[in-house]
Amino acid sequence: MKTIHFSSGKHIRRRSILKAAGVSLALPWLDAMHPAFAKEETKAPPRRMIAINVDLGFMSDRFFPKQPGRDYEFTEYLKELAEFRNDFTVFSGLHHPGTGGQHNSDRCFLTAATHPTRPGFKNTISLDQRMADEIGFQTRWPSLALRVGPGSNSLSYTADGVRVPAIERPSDVYKALFVQGSPEQVRQQVQRLRNGQSLMDQFASEIRRLKKDVGGSDRQRLDQYFNSLRELETRLEAQEAWANTPKTSVDAPVPKDNTSPGGLIPKSRMLYDMARLALETDSTRVITILVNETFNPKVDLPGVDVPHHALTHQASQKGDELAIIERAQMKCLAGLLAGLRTAEENGRTLLDSTMVLHGSNIGDAARHDGYNLPVLLAGGGFRHGSHLAFDRKNNEPLANVFVSMLQRMGIEDEKFASSTGTIRGLELG
């Protein structure tokens, strides 16, 4: 006789905790934590994310559609993504409150930390690192920070506001992901990790002794520091396990780095390809890419004669020249989406399981305007195909999109930085 299951419709949150008499007890995974009639999680591919920030923005009249909703007409730039119309959502009327439109606000693109130009500014955790804290242990690389262009900037910041170094050369990304060291090199790496663990043990002992001699507020600070040390120890242990695990082999050759100062487009394409390979091999599930052009090179494209940064301040006179660059950048994004849509995993495309956030920390580079940021979100299993238009004078927080992305990743956060909730109108597919 076939058994019929009737769902009560109740759903217990994954992070449910029992509390009584000052004691907290985290619950194990229960059947009730599955949504009613949900498919087994093991059958679904893991969720992933790529976040890209183009630090000189896009000309708004060539980026944003005039019509809201699903029947919007493609703008000059969105035409480059025409074949992916049902795979992305374009937003207007978003900003990060208090970050401004200065170039150094790129460090806030994924953190939404306020006032980056003030002395003593300290950043906060970035979206990717919040994800990595939850799922990073599942892959060799908890996250991967990349950068197109010179400098030391990155989109990734830890909970303590410390910048995560970004890799610039595609060949270095390839070696980190796929080139296995010699047995001696692996042994040395493991020993370095163990030395780090031993050092953490020594610090922990010192802190325990120190806590006996300080007041309550200092003990609290030391507890926070001690917790961060324990977190580091956990990461070191995970890294040691991965150090002894052979890296994935791929057929793709080591990329030849483009060293031209104006090689914006080939550099972007190669790093986007590396990002796709990293996800396709499940080497990581969280990637950030900063496209850094504030050093003002002249981009190597036919018809471009003025340095890129300078063009953004002459957009009213040289808009067509600037558009050559910005269209090419949109074509790079189209190439990334095409690669993700071609790769399959468990009967679905990699694009279905990968959220691709593409935008800028600047709404108008000519005015250093931080409002109405050009942002779109592709893939990830959302119901796409719309222009979600918000008030362009009283913008919605971009961090609301981040909360929706965190929840899509399976992280039950209800707030991130300046958010006021999830982003209205963005639905699951």
Cα-flanking dihedrals φ and ψ of residue 166, to 5°?
-105, 145
pLDDT at position 286 over 60 = yes
On whether residue 26 sits in a domain, the answer given is no
- The pLDDT of 392-407, averaged and rounded, is 97
pLDDT at position 16 over 60 = no
Which segment of 248-262, 297-311, 334-348 scores lowest on mean pLDDT?
248-262
Residue 3 has what pLDDT? 41
Of 192, 221, 245, the domain-final residue: 245
Instruction: Clarify whether residues 377 and 305 are in a common domain.
Output: yes
Residues contacting 273, CB < 8 A, separation 6+ = 170, 255, 339
Instruction: Clarify whether residues 122 and 209 are in a common domain.
Output: no
For residue 233, the enclosing domain spans 181-245
Residue type, 152: S
Cα-flanking dihedrals φ and ψ of residue 90, to 5°?
-105, 135
Place of tokens 């679905």: 348
On whether residue 9 sits in a domain, the answer given is no
Residues 121-150 have pLDDT tens digits of 999 999 999 999 999 989 989 999 999 999
Coil, helix or strand at residue 25: strand
Residue 197 has what pLDDT? 58
Q: Which stretch of DSSP H or E encloses residue 344?
A: strand 344-345
Residue 249 has what pLDDT? 73
On whether residue 36 sits in a domain, the answer given is no
Instruction: Clarify whether residues 142 and 223 are in a common domain.
Output: no
Rounded Cα distance between 416 and 419, Å, is 5
Instruction: Clarify whether residues 276 and 384 are in a common domain.
Output: yes
Most confidently predicted of 2-11, 42-51, 201-210: 42-51
Confidence of residue 228 (pLDDT cuts 50, 70, 90): low
Rounded Cα distance between 386 and 228, Å, is 42
On whether residue 257 sits in a domain, the answer given is yes
User: Which is higher by pLDDT, 21 or 224?
Assistant: 224
Domain of 90: which CATH number? 3.40.720.10
Instruction: Clarify whether residues 132 and 113 are in a common domain.
Output: yes
- The pLDDT of 230-238, averaged and rounded, is 58
Which segment of 110-114, 150-154, 355-359, 414-418 scores lowest on mean pLDDT?
150-154
* Residue from 99, 412, 109, 78 nearest 288 by CA: 109
Coil, helix or strand at residue 211: helix
Instruction: Clarify whether residues 376 and 256 are in a common domain.
Output: yes
Residue type, 364: D
On whether residue 29 sits in a domain, the answer given is no
Instruction: Clarify whether residues 375 and 326 are in a common domain.
Output: yes
- The pLDDT of 384-413, averaged and rounded, is 97
- The pLDDT of 310-331, averaged and rounded, is 95
Most confidently predicted of 1-15, 226-240, 254-268: 254-268
pLDDT at position 13 over 60 = no
Instruction: Clarify whether residues 205 and 124 are in a common domain.
Output: no
Residue 25 has what pLDDT? 46
Instruction: Clarify whether residues 310 and 165 are in a common domain.
Output: yes
Mean pLDDT score of the chain: 85
Which segment of 206-210, 259-263, 277-281, 394-398 scores lowest on mean pLDDT?
206-210
Instruction: Clarify whether residues 226 and 280 are in a common domain.
Output: no
Confidence of residue 6 (pLDDT cuts 50, 70, 90): very low
On whether the CB atoms of residues 286 and 294 are closer than 8 A, the answer is no
On whether the CB atoms of residues 112 and 397 are closer than 8 A, the answer is yes
- The pLDDT of 153-163, averaged and rounded, is 93
pLDDT at position 94 over 90 = yes
On whether residue 22 sits in a domain, the answer given is no
* Residue from 56, 77, 37, 3 nearest 315 by CA: 56
Instruction: Clarify whether residues 131 and 271 are in a common domain.
Output: yes
Of 245, 265, 286, the domain-final residue: 245
Confidence of residue 8 (pLDDT cuts 50, 70, 90): very low
Residues 180-200 have pLDDT tens digits of 666 675 566 556 656 655 555
Rounded Cα distance between 35 and 348, Å, is 21
